[in-house]
Amino acid sequence: MVEGEITKDVTEIDYTLTVAKGDIVVLDMRRSKDSELYSTAIIVQDASGTEVVNTTEDTSANNTVAGFTAHADGDYTVIATRNKYSDTTGGFELRPTAAKLLQSGDSIKGLVTNKTADLYYALPADTDAKISYAQTTGDYFLYFRILVLDSKTSSSLSASATAIKGITWSVSLKTDADYMTLVSVGGNEYDLQHDDISSKFTLDVE
């Protein structure tokens, strides 16, 4: 995780991210605790300078979840910014993740804390999938979400659930060939900033 601040004079901050061909990269940008940056956005350029992600036209994102699949090895530029129509300022947190591509038969055990925030996993495109989720420990009830995104928008919510310990929640879906589909397990923004979170979960893919 890196932290930065969007100000009146500095509206874009560049970071270098080294990736390998085939990496599924998820970028989670959210405002810091007590920040007034209410409209985050992300731009990504590949090693040649070609833009592969730009969510600055997306007016719906207080917190941004963007993603791309690297088409080549190299150093990509990640630009943390805000919606092009916004003049809000404040601190932010940016978390890059190399998301695991879930396959049939996978069984995942994970831990969500305040430091990790939301965890992300990718589903193959144009595929039927069934995923079972259960929380195994922790007093904070985690959120299980299915997210869909493309190169111009932050993620949109396709399905969500919370589950108390010992209760399994399952979802079946057909992923789209033209969009990235993510599985997310985490908390809501306020809770991650104010509650003490340490909860474990399992994901099973049929």
Q: What is the 3-state secondary structure (H, E, C) of the chain?
A: CEEEEECCCCCCEEEEEEECCCCEEEEEEEECCCCCCCCEEEEEECCCCCEEEECCCCCCCCCEEEEEECCCCEEEEEEEEECCCCCCCEEEEEEEEECEECCCCCEEEEEEECCCCCEEEEECCCCEEEEEEEEEECCCCCEEEEEEECCCCCCEEEEEEECCCCCEEEEEEECCCCCEEEEEEECCHHHHHHCCCEEEEEEEEC
Total domains in the fold of the chain:
2
Domain CATH for 190? 2.60.120.510
Q: What is the pTM of this model?
A: 0.93
Q: Tell me what pLDDT residue 128 has.
A: 95
Q: Within this chain, do residues 53 and 143 fall inside the same structural domain, yes or no? A: no
Q: Within this chain, do residues 112 and 73 fall inside the same structural domain, yes or no? A: no
Q: What is the pLDDT of residues 132-149, one digit of tens each?
A: 999 999 999 999 999 999
Euclidean distance between CA atoms 89 and 20, whole angstroms = 33
Domain boundary, last residue among 48, 68, 98 = 98
Q: Tell me what pLDDT residue 121 has.
A: 98
- Reply yes or no on whether the pLDDT at 8 is more than 80: yes
Q: Within this chain, do residues 93 and 151 fall inside the same structural domain, yes or no? A: no
Q: How confident is the model at residue 60 (pLDDT cuts 50, 70, 90)?
A: low
Its domain, for residue 10, covers: 2-98
Q: Tell me what pLDDT residue 70 has.
A: 96
- Reply yes or no on whether the pLDDT at 26 is more than 90: yes
Domain CATH for 38? 2.60.120.380
Query: How confident is the prediction for the chain on average, in pLDDT?
Result: 93
Q: Within this chain, do residues 81 and 110 fall inside the same structural domain, yes or no? A: no
Q: Tell me what pLDDT residue 125 has.
A: 94
Domain boundary, last residue among 45, 68, 98 = 98
- Reply yes or no on whether the pLDDT at 116 is more than 90: yes
Q: Within this chain, do residues 125 and 76 fall inside the same structural domain, yes or no? A: no
Q: Tell me what pLDDT residue 159 has.
A: 86
Report the pLDDT averaged over residues 9-38: 95
